[in-house]
Chains A and B, each alone.
Chain A
Amino acid sequence: MGEVLVLVDAADGSVKKVTTELLTLAQSLGEPSAVWIGPGYTDAAGATLGEFGAQKVYVADSADYINHPVAPKAEVLSKLVADQSPIAVLIGSSPEGKEVAARLAVRTNSGIITDAIGIAPDLTATQSIFGGATVVQSKVSAGTPIITVRPNSTAPVANAGAATRVDVSVELSAAAKSATITNRAAAVKGGRPELTEAAIVVSGGRGVGAAEGFGVIEDLADSLGAAVGASRAATDAGYYPHAFQVGQTGKTVSPQLYIANGISGAIQHRAGMQTSKLIVAVNKDAEAPMFELADFGVVGDLFTVVPQLTEEIKKRKG
């Protein structure tokens, strides 16, 4: 059985769920090996990786590898590809994951497939493109298939592996060190992120009823590290400052997630947020047009739904 490399995605030393998904996929293709790049590797991390089938864990734990963006990871992986000749490399489809895959593909003269939602045993990948309108089957025809996989494509399945630690180190090229990360800041720095730049926006409308009512909106936003937005009805009524108005004559946003609370969904509002990737609506009127746009909607009073959501998120985030 050929070896399948899985690049570990970890934040603060803990392995991300997407990595366990990738390992699960790798089990169905061959023998999974995890690749840990950067400092902070712990036995606990190794245990998690082993739990989902990693036979080996390649550990490249010099801080050097994460002091420069993207390229070092590609160089570490590229060395492993050269040394171990895996049958495939799987990477999570985050923005950075795709970049690492891209550089790796060039370094190893390999074909790349991004945003796969499934991989068949013969390494044919399934992608959904054009915003989900079309499903495509593709296969890499040169080098080692490098496939980035969307989170949540598979349910993680435990299947114990040895998770033997194998240390690796790579002499980084000058090019890889040419860009340097001088500072890191959590997405939320000093309060909430900028409305137009935020990955998540939590908005309130006339349904919030009063300036004080925005407290529940802000609490939800803070639990998600989100920015706060408002409809024009809410800003006009003085519930929230005008600078936070989302819509045709306010700010245009297109975050990963937009949560509209007590907003009916007038076209003037939609014009400013309709390109959001995921839309959630809370409104007590089941007929509110916002529900037509929403991926998920709850018909109910925002003053019960939103605080409950905030609590639940805090709970889940631990």
Chain B
Amino acid sequence: MDVLVMIVAAIVTVIAVGLFARTVVGFVRQFKVGKSINRTDKPALRTLTLLKEVFLATRLKQKPVGPIVAVSHLIVLIAFGVLFFTLVTAYGQLINPDFALPLIGHWPAFSYLIEIMSWLMVLAILILIAVRVARRPNPQQPRKSRFFGSTMWQAYYVEFTILAIGIFVLALRAAEYARGSVQGEEFIHSNFPLTGWIGENWTGLSLETLATLILLLAFGKILVSMAWFVTVAMTPTMGVAWHRFLAFFNVWFQRNANGKPALGQLEPIRYDGVALDFEKLDDFPDDIALGVTAMTDFSWKALLDFSTCTECGRCQSQCPAWNTEKPLSPKLLTIAMRNHAHAISPWMTATEEERAHLDPALIELAEKPLVGEDGVITDDILWSCTTCGACVNQCPVDIAHIDHIVDIRRSQVLVLSEFPTELNGLFKNVENKGNPWGMNASGRNDWISEVDFDVKVFGMDGEDTIPEDIDYLFWVGCAGAYEDRAKRTTKNVAELMNIAGVSFMVLGEGETCTGDPARRAGNEFLFQMQAAQNIEVLNEIKATKIVVTCPHCLNALKREYPQLGGNYEVVHHTELLNDLVKAGRLTPVNKIDQTVTYHDPCYLGRHNQVYNPPRELISATADSFVEMDRNRDKSFCCGAGGARMWMEEKLGTRINQTRGDEAIATGAKRIAVGCPFCSVMLNDAVNTRQQEPGRALGVEVVDVSTLLLDAAKS
């Protein structure tokens, strides 16, 4: 029997390792098809980031069970590595039941480590299984589960394999103890702290029986392990297993070497790995591929992202689109891309000539469009994204969903001309009129005639650069100039700066849309035209410090314009005003005796990490402040980002209503915001509720600056 077992184990192992190696090679070949992108800057920092993310589990602490899951996961992660030694031992035990690893095999410290890790691993995996079972989709509201759409058997299979291995290790050690005990070995007293008590029960067995027991247990352990290798090798789409290996690479190669989520600026559009400059249009090849039309247009990092997804669903649970019954889930999108990539991997990795000889069914599959009714994802999925960043911020393996979504939108807009019709108007208005609503440029200064203090407009006194004594260039923005509620914010901020003695200047008709909505809608060409125009002006007049009231302007000016040669110090008005209050230059004299809640705009919060200044301002101006359940980096989008402000929301429930209801539920009378689009969205939501008798009575959506002005003036 021993021989038979050994032969079977050897064959199984060879097959498993072979298959596994083949699949690994397959992965590498597929990633190599991806377009180039440089992700090797600052290698030391990247390594440090990797270590932090792995060992401090910095990306797993989602409440309420976050810390427990994080610790359990960390234990399994480490144990999985450490217990590799027990696998080696198991092979030895097939030959000799008393086999121990040379040098360390009977070293008490090693034994302690193995036993502690095994027990912890069993405990941790039971917790993880329990969490998965508890959070499994329930038939009434399946979409509420973050595991909706995840391949549950794969996860359970992985988890039960780990559980089985843990049990095998412990049982083996108990048997080793028993055999050692029967043989009167000394080492058993110092080596089996946590399994000896089990082994005590078997000391009555004969040496032969124990040898057989060890043989069978070792064989079982090997089979379970090899079955796992075979299974994952045969299933390259098994992200829950493969992330075990790929996540390290994915984390190391993430966009920001310092581990900051891939938010804020978008990745520039690339061709052959080089960021494109549309000013050099004439040098572009005729058939230039822009954005992602086919799987092979993705960068290797995007392909690695897709394969790394563990299907944990943390992104899905936060996604505003998913939570309002849209078809988009960042997880399902990632999975769809991954599955398709692997399904057509043989085609992707083949040369042009080889492709012709492939199975026609495969060729047909490879020609399936990425987007469309019969595509890998539908148009509705693609265009539902608000680019709120909740997914990117959550993903434990640093997948950059937004970059991929926008890259696909780029091809839809620039190459295929397939996009929601409403965007036609947006693009034309921005291109022809310099603002998204097609307003007249001369209206940019209308607000100035509605304030009773002087506002300096650049160029009025013949200056050709911003004068020395001007503290800030006040970038009013399109909403700030044209949209009624935002115009009020503009006037408030101007007045507050005026009161505080901050000197500022506006560009007036010299301003034009930053291009943010165009970029998020995939129209990189239009974005670059707008950006180039603005950067030319800003550089020419030597603008250095800029204050904005719109987080989208903030993001464009501060985070995106550097990609095109515009570098400025940009602050949001809540930051500036908060500094002014702290410095005593603005004093809230009369606190507002109402409860205020605050909605974090995605492009201020998650994308630019401004969480505290608005809160501090509110605390300084209002009697009481209450948080919504979802706040700060888990704030729930208002629904306007990603150019959704210019698209009709026809599917599911309205995102703004969901968020508005959440704000109303706090009981606050004032809902403070720091973004003109959030303001419109939440105001619409509150208005709608106020049509229902007795609801949202007296609730008002205001910009934070309104609170301060009210408090500072009265």
Given a CB threshold of 8 Å, the question of whether A touches B is answered with: yes
- Assess whether B482 is in contact with A236, with CB atoms less than 8 Å apart: no
- Assess whether B438 is in contact with A271, with CB atoms less than 8 Å apart: yes
A271→B429 CA distance, assembly (Å): 10
* Given contact pairs A248-B422, A250-B648, A267 touches B687 in the complex (Cβ within 8 A): no
A266→B438 CA distance, assembly (Å): 14
- Assess whether B691 is in contact with A271, with CB atoms less than 8 Å apart: no
B647 lies within 8 A of chain A by Cβ? yes
In which size bucket is the chain A interface?
10 to 19
Give the number of residues in B that approach A within 8 Å (Cβ atoms). 18
Point out the residues of chain B lying under 8 angstroms from A236, CB to CB: 688
A306→B434 CA distance, assembly (Å): 37
A206→B691 CA distance, assembly (Å): 9
B680 lies within 8 A of chain A by Cβ? yes
A271→B436 CA distance, assembly (Å): 9
Name the one of B437, B484, B687, B688 contacting A248, with C-beta atoms under 8 angstroms.
B437
A270 lies within 8 A of chain B by Cβ? yes
Residue of B nearest to A271 (CB): B437
Complex interface bits, A233-275 against B, C-beta within 8 A gives 1, otherwise 0: 1001100000000001110100000000000001110110010
A38 lies within 8 A of chain B by Cβ? no
Point out the residues of chain A lying under 8 angstroms from B484, CB to CB: 266-267, 289
Point out the residues of chain B lying under 8 angstroms from A206, CB to CB: 687, 691
Give the distance to chain B from A157, nearest Cβ to Cβ, in Å: 39
Point out the residues of chain B lying under 8 angstroms from A250, CB to CB: 648
- Assess whether A267 is in contact with B482, with CB atoms less than 8 Å apart: yes
A267→B429 CA distance, assembly (Å): 13
Complex interface bits, B672-697 against A, C-beta within 8 A gives 1, otherwise 0: 00000000100010011001000000
In the complex, the number of residue pairs spanning A and B with C-beta atoms less than 8 Å apart equals: 36
Point out the residues of chain A lying under 8 angstroms from B436, CB to CB: 271
Name the one of B647, B680, B688, B691 contacting A249, with C-beta atoms under 8 angstroms.
B647
- Assess whether A248 is in contact with B691, with CB atoms less than 8 Å apart: no
Point out the residues of chain A lying under 8 angstroms from B439, CB to CB: 267, 274
A233→B687 CA distance, assembly (Å): 9
B380 lies within 8 A of chain A by Cβ? no
A248→B517 CA distance, assembly (Å): 14
- Assess whether B646 is in contact with A249, with CB atoms less than 8 Å apart: yes
B142 lies within 8 A of chain A by Cβ? no
Point out the residues of chain B lying under 8 angstroms from A237, CB to CB: 688, 691
Chain A interface, >50% SS class: loop
- Assess whether B437 is in contact with A270, with CB atoms less than 8 Å apart: yes
B425 lies within 8 A of chain A by Cβ? yes
Interface centre among B439, B483, B484, B647 (most CB of A within 10 A): B484
* Given contact pairs A248-B422, A248-B425, A252-B425, A267 touches B483 in the complex (Cβ within 8 A): yes
Point out the residues of chain A lying under 8 angstroms from B483, CB to CB: 267
Point out the residues of chain A lying under 8 angstroms from B437, CB to CB: 248, 267-268, 270-271
Residue of A nearest to B424 (CB): A252
* Given contact pairs A267-B437, A271-B437, A248 touches B482 in the complex (Cβ within 8 A): no
A131→B503 CA distance, assembly (Å): 38
- Assess whether B691 is in contact with A274, with CB atoms less than 8 Å apart: no
Complex interface bits, B429-455 against A, C-beta within 8 A gives 1, otherwise 0: 100000011110000000000000000
Residue of A nearest to B482 (CB): A267
Give the distance to chain A from B467, nearest Cβ to Cβ, in Å: 33
- Assess whether B438 is in contact with A274, with CB atoms less than 8 Å apart: yes
Point out the residues of chain A lying under 8 angstroms from B691, CB to CB: 206, 237
A268→B646 CA distance, assembly (Å): 9
Point out the residues of chain B lying under 8 angstroms from A252, CB to CB: 425
- Assess whether B688 is in contact with A271, with CB atoms less than 8 Å apart: no
A206→B687 CA distance, assembly (Å): 10
A181→B394 CA distance, assembly (Å): 66
A233→B647 CA distance, assembly (Å): 15
Residue of A nearest to B420 (CB): A249
Point out the residues of chain B lying under 8 angstroms from A266, CB to CB: 484, 680
Give the distance to chain A from B470, nearest Cβ to Cβ, in Å: 29
Binding site for B on A (CB under 8 A): 206, 233, 236-237, 248-250, 252, 266-268, 270-271, 274, 289
Please name 6 further chain A to chain B contacts, defined as beta carbons within 8 Å, in addition to the given A233-B687, A271-B437, sorted by A numbering: A236-B688, A237-B688, A248-B425, A252-B425, A271-B436, A289-B484
Binding site for A on B (CB under 8 A): 422, 425, 429, 436-439, 482-484, 646-648, 680, 684, 687-688, 691
A-B contact pairs, 19 of them (CB 8 A): A233-B684, A233-B688, A236-B688, A237-B688, A237-B691, A248-B437, A248-B646, A249-B648, A252-B425, A266-B484, A267-B437, A267-B439, A267-B482, A267-B484, A268-B437, A271-B425, A271-B429, A271-B436, A274-B438
10 smallest beta-carbon distances between A and B, as pairs: A249-B648, A271-B437, A267-B483, A249-B422, A289-B484, A267-B437, A267-B482, A271-B438, A248-B646, A249-B647
